[in-house]
Amino acid sequence: MGHDKLRKFRENETFRCLLQPDSSEVLDREKGEGAGKDGLKLKDHPIKGHWNEKMFSKPQPIVLELGCGKGEYTIDLSHRIPERNYIGVDIKGARLWKGAKEAEQDNLPNVAFLRTRVEFIESFFAPGEVSEIWLTFSDPQVKSENCRLTSPLFLERFRNILRPGGVVHLKTDSMFLHQYTKAIALQNGLKILACTEDLYATERSETFCDALFEVQTYYEKKFLEQGYKITYLSFVIDREGKYIYPEFDKDYWLEIEGPTKITLRAPSRA
């Protein structure tokens, strides 16, 4: 491990806005019933249901950026809409360091970061504690459907922490993931609020807010340089009962995606 990464890890320990729980705090390793479809048996972290009182200066609707990387959206949205509290979630501490450091230096009252796996999200947030979720350039996980952050498995997790009417935003360079998520929404009768296959050819409006055009993550810049289009989809997650897996022509959209696009990605971006 490089000296710079070690320095960031040490500095992360000093940030008040960054919560870095050990996996043992949320994984229940005792044998017995209660494991989910993926075999995980989770327990609640003490922060669950208490984010507004323990991490923020005042209680406000909470917005998550999952797989936030360096926290570009978390930081920018906190400036644009100060009447909401923002939490960036990622498993990579070296990435989180940049956003957490900026939040600490600027003393941002409505920003926090959580270092954990997205699979553990229900251990940290109570039902209805979250108002919106942003998925910014998530790994499309072309080989494993249940690892996609918009699969029925993850949507059920998100529904368990979102308030009624809660919204999921997906901004991605992956046409594969965009079309898969659109198929999920249509299959399950979810209300689509906005949808475009070419964001930068779309006029700005209330459904396509300024932040979508003006905030670019590290990965977005890389893909724009390669000439790839950026897609956007937002939808309401409400649905009673189990989410249904869609009929989806994986091979067709993999061909559209192309092997170059997939190999440009770094591993474990979700």
Q: Is residue 134 part of a domain?
A: yes
What is the residue type of 137?
F
Q: Is residue 49 part of a domain?
A: no
- Sheet of 111-115: strand order equals 18-19, 111-115, 85-90, 62-66, 130-136, 162-172, 231-236, 192-196
- The residue segments making up the domain with residue 247 are 3-21+62-263
- Please tell me the total count of domains within the chain: 1
CB 151 within 8 A of CB 183: no
In this structure, what token pair is assigned to residue 167?
């919204």
Q: Is residue 42 part of a domain?
A: no
| pTM passes above 0.85 | yes
Q: Is residue 29 part of a domain?
A: no
Catalytic residue status for 173: no
How many helices and strands in the chain, by DSSP H and E?
10, 8
Q: Is residue 47 part of a domain?
A: no
DSSP, res 140: -
Tens of pLDDT, residue by residue, the chain (270 residues): 677 888 999 999 999 999 999 989 999 876 545 555 556 789 999 999 999 999 999 999 999 999 999 999 999 999 999 999 999 999 999 999 999 999 999 999 999 999 999 999 999 999 999 999 999 999 999 999 999 999 999 999 999 999 999 999 999 999 999 999 999 999 999 999 999 999 999 999 888 989 999 999 888 998 899 888 999 999 999 988 999 999 999 999 998 887 655 445 544 343
Q: Is residue 28 part of a domain?
A: no
Task: State the pairing for strand pair 85-90/192-196.
Answer: unpaired
Q: Is residue 213 part of a domain?
A: yes
Phi, psi of 130 (to 5 degrees): -110, 140
Q: Is residue 55 part of a domain?
A: no
CB 64 within 8 A of CB 57: no
Active-site entry in 139, 173, 238, 249? 139
Domain containing 221 — which CATH number?
3.40.50.150
